Amino acid sequence: MPADNALLAAGIGAVGCGAVAAVLGPWLMRRIPEPELDEGETKVPYASLASPRATLWCGGLAAVAGGLIGWLLGLDAALPAWLVLVVAGAILGYIDARTRFLPSVIIWPTYVLVGLGLLIAAAATGEWESLRRAAIAGAIGFAVFYVLWFTFPRGVGFGDVRLSGLLGLALGWLGWGEFVSGLYGGFFLGAIVGIVLIATRVMTRKQMVPFGPFMLVGALAGVLLGTPLEALYAG
């Protein structure tokens, strides 16, 4: 069920996130340093992505996600932190889909901004338990994906590990239901799509499916479905 002031928050999220991501996405793509590649590995240069297509995709994705998050959270104290994540997520999702890389120079500053936003929200509302849960959830998400990366590096990239902690932090603020359904639902969605692509020979087993976009979609689904699923589980 939409939160109080949902329409206003949705408008702020859609317009604000869409405009910022449309401008910031291509600007960042022109300036992101290229990663060191393993021998024989290739990637699409980040700078080549900075085009009108990137403007439309980043802006459009952020507008849709920002509007949805605003509609679901309303004028919640944590809304600014989530809108920061929406902008970064739209840019990261587009880059990962095109290059199969998630630049750490975008992820780490987003950790700081989202964490600061949640800290301010806790101070304003007194929801220190939510902040503690967010920190624990972020650590759990990072740790689980780190183990997956360590044991199956061809299936999970380290960029996915970094992103998992960030998404866990934001989802954990909302609740354990949102955290579990949002973070791991995205992982399983990506795994299923990867299996289908391999089975239909669109991709080979040696190719890595970009999990970032699926993780981000999963996080949105977690915000939408987390509370009902937690209530269902609780009986």
> Could you tell me if 69 and 151 lie in one domain?
no
> Could you tell me if 76 and 7 lie in one domain?
yes
Domain boundary among 67, 102, 137: 102
> Could you tell me if 134 and 230 lie in one domain?
yes
> Could you tell me if 2 and 91 lie in one domain?
yes
Per-residue confidence (pLDDT) for residue 185, from 0 to 100:
81
> Could you tell me if 7 and 75 lie in one domain?
yes
CB atoms within 10 A of CB 227: 17
> Could you tell me if 9 and 97 lie in one domain?
yes
Do 134 and 170 touch, CB atoms closer than 8 A?
Answer: yes
pLDDT digits (tens, 9 = 90+) for 31-64: 999 988 877 778 899 999 999 999 999 999 999 9
> Could you tell me if 94 and 132 lie in one domain?
no
Do 212 and 172 touch, CB atoms closer than 8 A?
Answer: no
> Could you tell me if 146 and 64 lie in one domain?
no
How does residue 232 score in pLDDT terms, banded at 50, 70 and 90? low
CB atoms within 10 A of CB 205: 9
Do 227 and 220 touch, CB atoms closer than 8 A?
Answer: no
In sequence order, what DSSP letters do the residues of 20-40 get, joined into one string? HHHHHHHHHHTTPPPPPPPTT
**Domain tally, the chain:** 2
- 22 within a domain of the structure (yes/no): yes
> Could you tell me if 1 and 76 lie in one domain?
yes
219: its two tokens: 């996080």
pLDDT digits (tens, 9 = 90+) for 99-139: 999 999 999 999 999 999 999 999 999 999 999 999 999 99
SS3 123: helix
Per-residue confidence (pLDDT) for residue 211, from 0 to 100:
85
> Could you tell me if 61 and 19 lie in one domain?
yes
- 155 within a domain of the structure (yes/no): yes
> Could you tell me if 235 and 152 lie in one domain?
yes
Query: Which residue range is the domain that position 157 belongs to?
Result: 127-235
Do 148 and 142 touch, CB atoms closer than 8 A?
Answer: no
> Could you tell me if 24 and 88 lie in one domain?
yes
CA distances from 113 to 110, 118, 169 (A): 5, 9, 12
pTM score, two decimals?
Answer: 0.91
- 114 within a domain of the structure (yes/no): no
- 180 within a domain of the structure (yes/no): yes
- 72 within a domain of the structure (yes/no): yes
- 132 within a domain of the structure (yes/no): yes
CA distances from 184 to 42, 97, 226 (A): 29, 19, 12
Alpha-carbon distance 12 to 8, whole Å?
6
**For residue 74, which of 167, 119, 166, 12 has the smallest C-alpha distance?**
12
Alpha-carbon distance 213 to 218, whole Å?
8
pLDDT digits (tens, 9 = 90+) for 146-203: 998 898 877 788 999 999 999 999 999 999 999 998 988 887 777 787 677 667 766 6
Helix (H) or strand (E) holding 88: helix 79-99
